[in-house]
Amino acid sequence: MTLKILGLIIFVELCEAASHVLFKQSVNAVDTSSLHNLTDYVRFLGTVLKQPAVWAGLLLFTGGILTWFVVLAHVELSRAFPFGSLQYLAIILASAVFLRERIDRRRLVGTLCIVLGILFVALN
Amino acid sequence: MPPRNRSLSLKVLSLILFWDLLTSVAELSFKAGASAAGMSDVTTANLLEFLIRVLSHVIPWIGIACYIASFLLWIAILSRADLSFAYPIGNVIDYVLVPVLSVIILHETIPLLRWVGIGCIVIGVYLISTSAAQSHDT
């Protein structure tokens, strides 16, 4: 695996993580307290789709997928697999820092278990 | 800490798992489409040609439809759950269900250490799913 491919893989993982943060930020910007039925949700989705951040997220997500095609043409899926764990770390960090989510110990330990588990799965 | 609202968490949890299934179907159809395109060397230079070839098949369009549906569902999920709750739970099928199914259906053998990894992931998902779905529950 060349340094270029490694860079592309990390780029893909971070793109996807960033897009999720942007999606959540768009949702947080909208009032979600009165969503009771499907009509409420459809109206809510419409409001979310008016947020510029959601489109920025979709752009990043699409960019990530396209880059992923390039990556998969050069390395086997199984070799790119362990880097998936990077996204879990990026997401929990960004959730705490940018989204101000309260991460209790249970959630932190759970996320670390998943990261460890992915490494075990990927390296065997 | 016990979940503050278990029924909410259960509903959100099943939506997250359904979302995971949708994205897995989308990814599978993309993979099928990519191999149907029959190009072994995709670079940034011929990416466009590759995409046109992939999109000339029907299967990837199923994937795109699944992706659009899963995006809308994901936005609905995020209105009810923290990202740090929904994300790790919503991305485990690849790591747990796929290997387990490959054992049951394809009779593949999985090395012991990989089972340990799968076990870690299951424990992690259990821990996260029993934390409160939202930090700002009312």
B30 part of a folded domain? yes
Cβ of A113 under 8 Å from any chain B Cβ? yes
Residue A83 DSSP one-character state: G
Chain B residues 6-25 with a CB less than 8 Å from chain A:
none
Q: How far apart, in Å, do the first and last CA atoms of chain A sit?
A: 18
ipTM score for this prediction: 0.91
Question: What is the total count of domains within chain A?
Answer: 1
Q: State the nearest Cα–Cα gap between A109 and chain B, in angstroms.
A: 7
| pLDDT on residue A57 | 97
Q: Which two tokens stand for residue B62?
A: 């199923």
B134 part of a folded domain? no
B122 part of a folded domain? yes
Best of B127, B129, B130 to mutate (most A CBs within 10 Å, chain A): B127
Nearest to B138 by CA among A39, A34, A6: A34
With a cut of 70, say whether residue A100 has pLDDT above it: yes
A107: chain B residues, CB-CB within 8 Å: 84-85, 127-128, 131
Question: What is the total count of domains within chain B?
Answer: 1
User: Exposure string (b/e) for A37-56, b if CB count within 10 Å is 16 or more?
Assistant: eeeebeebbeebeebebbeb
With a cut of 80, say whether residue B43 has pLDDT above it: no
| Other beta carbons less than 10 A from residue A105's beta carbon | 10
Whole-model pTM: value is 0.85
Minimal-distance CA residue of chain A relative to B47: A70
B39: chain A residues, CB-CB within 8 Å: 73
Q: Which two tokens stand for residue A66?
A: 């396209």
| pLDDT on residue A56 | 97
How far is C-alpha B81 from the geometric centre of its chain's CA atoms?
A: 17
Range of the domain at B23: 6-129
How far is C-alpha B103 from the geometric centre of its chain's CA atoms?
A: 19
Element (H, E) at A80: helix A77-80
B137 part of a folded domain? no
Range of the domain at A38: 3-123
| Other beta carbons less than 10 A from residue B14's beta carbon | 10
Judge contact between B34 and B54, C-beta under 8 A.
Answer: yes
With a cut of 80, say whether residue A43 has pLDDT above it: yes
With a cut of 50, say whether residue B54 has pLDDT above it: yes
Q: What are the pLDDT digits (tens) for B84-100?
A: 999 999 988 777 877 78
